[in-house]
Amino acid sequence: MSILKTFKLGGIHPKEGKLSANSPIKNFPLPKTVYIPVSQHIGAPATVLVAKGENVKTGQLIAKGEGFISANIHSSITGKIAKIDEIVDSSGYPKKVIVIDRADEEIWCDNISDSDPNTTKEFSPEEVKQKMREAGIVGLGGATFPSHVKMSVPEGKTAEYLIINGVECEPYLTSDHRLMLEKGDEILKGISIMMKTLNTKKALIGIENNKKDAIEHLQKLSKNYSGVEVVPLKVQYPQGGEKQLIDALIKREVPSGKLPIEVGCVVQNVGTAFAVYEALYKNKPLIERVVTVTGDSVKEPSNFLVRIGTPIESLIEAVGGLPETVAKVINGGPMMGKALSNLSAPVTKGTSGILLIDKKEASRKTSKNCIRCARCTMVCPMGLAPYLLENLANRKLFESSEKEGIMDCIECGSCSYTCPANRPLLDIIRVGKGEVNTLRRKRVQK
């Protein structure tokens, strides 16, 4: 067996803990009430189209994404708009939500077919982009960048490769893994639609080698699709980062501050590919996603197909309730996820997993002085010097930290993970990034 590919700089290998890898995706029962935030994506919040008391069907457009970088929001259940309220969501701040009380009978919007049409359709690139936009598809890997924007290749650039991210390098999370196993054909159909849209001949699906079943399954299926190749990758965090994945697969480096299209590729998540399939073949907007609910003390770690807007509490109840030993509930994986401050926060398009962490693992150790061991520098996948960036941010030397490339930080947390002195490197760097952003904005204004 040949040596598996991976990215060249840094990287770590944390405990994998993929507890729910063998639990099939279950349909989560429809919640009584859903809380659908109008801002579930990067970019401008969507404008609310419905009013209190209105009846909505499943899949109906309830908030429209205006402006280029924005996304549509659809009703995920059939019911009545109870109110337009604010709720503390996973961002930790109160955000506008549309609250819908479920009706007894579920009625889908007329043009949506919930069954597989099993036909081979042809779509024009414009139609695909339009449909993606209408369906409110965003990057389902976690960054929630509106996907139709990525699909619009700027003039003068060509997309040589379509890269599909099936890496799922975050420990514990298994939603993409299960999706690849159970919806392989649909994902591949989505991929071929995107390939035609981008006019690319080659699609690479990158999957880490700890998901051997998914690799085999997709390799078998991809024989029926021309130009699609499944590439097994060495298990290394943060391989799921866009820039790392491009480096691992095609050995190209995305220049600082530029997008992947600069080196001729477009990266999409497997979840997004599935959503594209659903939008085009079934006309179904993005109203549900696979969420892993897991943790060391969770009774039955599971993968659920959840409607957007379902309160996270109910997901925790479904896996046997909140164990007493749990100290933190994380939205996302253990490396990049964020602790929730409110358990009734809803599942959004970007929620890939809910992780319950025990007290022992959740508590931070006391941070000591930096001993200049340079381990953070060794593991940084962007080739930065995290100890230096932390120091500069602490001293408020934001101009210098900008020169040292603080804005290239992808916030993967490898530095904090590896630091033997338990320094909160990423936390401070994040503050520094915020300050540099303000500086840049001021510069633009001048």
Partner 1 sequence: MDTIIVASLVSLGGIGFFAAVLLFGAAKKFKVEEDPKIDEVNEILPSANCGGCGYAGCRNFAEGIVKNRSLDGFFCPVGGNELMKQIAEIMGLTAQEKEPMVAVVRCSGSFKNSPAKNQFDGVSSCKSAHMLYAGPGGCPNGCLGLGDCVTSCPFDAIKISSETGLPIVDEEKCTACNNCVVACPRSIIELRNKGKKNKRVFVSCINKEKGAVAKKNCSAACIGCGKCVKECPFDAIVLENNLAYIDFEKCKLCKKCVPVCPTGAILAINFPEPKKIESTDKKEKIELNKKDSLNTPNSTQKNMNNNENKTKASDSENNSDKKELVVEEK
- Enumerate residues 6+ apart whose C-beta is below 8 A from 438: none
Nearer to partner 1, 125 or 424 (CB): 424
434 lies in the binding site for partner 1 (CB under 8 A): yes
Question: Would you give the DSSP letter of residue 155?
Answer: T
431: contact with partner 1 by CB under 8 A: yes
Q: Which is nearer to partner 1, 275 or 426 (CB)?
A: 426
Please say which residue, 136 or 295, places its beta carbon nearer to partner 1. Answer: 295
Q: Which residues pair with 21 in a beta bridge?
A: none
Nearer to partner 1 by Cβ, of 68 and 93: the residue is 93
Pattern 64-103, binding to partner 1, x per CB under 8 A? ----------------------x-x--xxxx---------
Residue 53 CA to residue 39 CA, distance in Å, equals 22
Which of these segments, 240-248, 289-297, 356-364, 404-412, binds partner 1 (CB under 8 A)?
A: 356-364
Specify the residue, 67 or 94, whose C-beta has the smaller distance to partner 1.
Answer: 94
Tell me how far apart the alpha carbons of residues 16 and 25 are, in angstroms, rounded to a whole number: 20
In single-letter form, the type of residue at position 357 comes to I
Q: How many residues does the chain have?
A: 446
CB of 426 to partner 1, least distance (A): 10
Closer to partner 1 at the Cβ: 189 or 423?
423
> Rounded to whole angstroms, how far apart are CA atoms 425 and 97?
34
Task: Kindly state the tokens that stand for 408.
Answer: 């290239």
Q: What is the contact mask toward partner 1 in residues 407 to 426, using x (rule: CB under 8 A)?
A: -----------------x--
Cα–Cα dist 166/183, whole Å = 13
* Smallest gap from residue 370 Cβ to partner 1 (A): 15
Of the pair 22, 363, the CB lying nearest partner 1 is at: 363
> Which among 126-134, 286-294, 407-415, 429-437 is the span making contact with partner 1, rule CB under 8 A?
429-437
Beta-bridge partners for 228: 203
Stretch that binds partner 1, among 196-204, 248-256, 261-269, 333-341 (CB under 8 A): 333-341
| Three-class secondary structure of residue 304 per DSSP | strand
* 362 contributes a contact to partner 1 by CB under 8 A: yes
Which of 30, 221, 339, 439 touches partner 1 (CB under 8 A)? 339
In the complex, the smallest distance separating the C-beta of residue 262 from partner 1, rounded to whole angstroms, is 29
Nearest CA to 339 out of 310, 371, 361 is that of: 361
Interaction between residue 428 and partner 1 (CB under 8 A):
yes
Would you count residue 24 as binding partner 1 (CB under 8 A)? no
Cα–Cα dist 358/372, whole Å: 31
Q: Which ranges in 327-371 belong to alpha helices (H)?
A: 359-362
If the CB atoms of residues 185 and 427 are measured against partner 1, the closer one turns out to be: 427
- Interaction between residue 114 and partner 1 (CB under 8 A): no
Q: What are phi and psi of 97, to 5 degrees?
A: -130, 155
Torsion of CA 315, 316, 321, 326, to 10 degrees: 180
Based on CB atoms, which residue is closest to partner 1, 153 or 362? Answer: 362
Does 48 participate in binding partner 1 (rule CB under 8 A)?
Answer: no
Contact call for residue 344 and partner 1 (CB under 8 A):
no
Locate 184 and state its tokens: 């392989």
Give burial (CB, 10 Å; 0-12/13-18/19+) of 46. buried
Whether omega before 14 lies within 30 degrees of 0, making that bond cis, reads no
Q: Give me the residues that bind partner 1 (CB under 8 A), please.
A: 86, 88, 91-94, 328, 338-339, 341-342, 362-364, 424, 427-428, 430-431, 434
